[in-house]
């Protein structure tokens, strides 16, 4: 009955779905394509977490100033920009570019989680708060599990299709194998970009609707 509630729940589902692909595949890209050591790859990946923490603090301050809907749209656009940048990773991509991608994605994630979560909680009747809280928790973890499986399939199938199309075998030079591997990552990261477009559309379509239960409380 409440389209906004549906849209916002889809947003949070898709946010964590798209994040699962980046979190799962990017370490392999850094290790096998970028040639980084495990410790170097881990250090690079921390930039996403740092950006999320900083953005989370900023989101709390901006929420009451500009509203949840506007903040979620801005965050979705930033997240989409990060997903677009990460589709351009190559064998010789510099570390600074990878870090910039992760900072952009992390900043977008940190900004969008706060307004979306609040819009979900305030959009449902107070008596259903416990149920809605459980739903949001499910929407954080279930998409991650589903996403890892789907991204893994896309990565493997995409890489296999490209290798067969160009008639590349396991005995091909290492440079050619790396290009095929990179193509598999590109295809998987493209899914995150497409999901990012859908997230932007849903945040634009959603309206900030506060349930009357909370309006009555404010008026008292």
Percent of the chain with pLDDT over 70: 84
146 lies in a domain? yes
| CA dihedral sign, ordered 7, 143, 103, 197 | negative
d(CA 113, CA 18): 14
Residue pLDDT, tens place only, 165-211: 555 555 454 455 677 777 788 888 999 999 999 999 999 988 776 65
80 lies in a domain? yes
Q: Are 112 and 76 in contact (CB under 8 A)?
A: yes
d(CA 10, CA 113): 12
Q: Of the candidates 8, 165, 145, 28, which has an alpha carbon nearest to the alpha carbon of residue 72? A: 8
Instruction: With a cut of 60, say whether residue 142 has pLDDT above it.
Output: yes
215 lies in a domain? no
Question: Measured at the alpha carbon of residue 210, what is the angle toward residues 205 and 214, in degrees to the nearest 5?
Answer: 170
Contacts of 103 (CB under 8 A, 6+ apart): 47, 48, 50, 51, 82
Residue pLDDT, tens place only, 64-91: 888 888 999 999 999 999 999 999 988 8
- Mean pLDDT over 32-48 rounds to 90
Domain count, the chain: 1
Domain of 97 in residue numbering reads as 3-210
> Higher model confidence: residue 183 or residue 142?
142
pLDDT of residue 13: 92
Instruction: With a cut of 70, say whether residue 14 has pLDDT above it.
Output: yes
53 lies in a domain? yes
d(CA 154, CA 152): 6
DSSP-based helix, strand, coil % in the chain, nearest 5? 85, 0, 15
What CATH number corresponds to the domain at position 55?
1.20.1250.20
67 lies in a domain? yes
d(CA 209, CA 38): 46
d(CA 122, CA 9): 13
């Amino acid at each position: 009955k409440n389209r906004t509630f549906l849209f916002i729940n889809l947003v949070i589902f898709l946010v964590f779905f798209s994040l699962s692909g980046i979190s799962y595949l990017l370490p392999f890209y850094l290790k096998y394509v970028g040639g980084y050591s495990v410790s170097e790859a881990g250090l690079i990946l921390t930039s996403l977490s740092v950006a999320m923490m900083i953005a989370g603090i900023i989101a709390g301050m901006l929420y009451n100033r500009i509203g949840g809907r506007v903040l979620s749209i801005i965050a979705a656009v930033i997240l989409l920009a990060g997903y677009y940048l990460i589709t351009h990773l190559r064998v010789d991509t510099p570390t600074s570019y990878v870090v910039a991608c992760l900072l952009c994605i992390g900043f977008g994630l940190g900004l969008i989680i706060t307004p979306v979560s609040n819009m979900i909680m305030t959009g449902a009747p107070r008596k259903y708060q416990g149920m809605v809280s459980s739903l949001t928790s499910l929407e954080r973890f279930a998409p991650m599990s589903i996403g890892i499986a789907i991204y893994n399939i896309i990565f493997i199938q995409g890489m296999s299709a490209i290798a067969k199309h160009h008639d590349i075998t396991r005995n091909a030079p290492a440079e050619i194998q790396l290009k095929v591997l990179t193509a598999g990552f590109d295809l998987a990261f493209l899914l995150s970009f497409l999901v990012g477009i859908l997230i932007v559309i849903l945040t634009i379509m959603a309206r900030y609707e506060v349930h009357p239960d909370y309006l009555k409380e404010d008026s008292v």
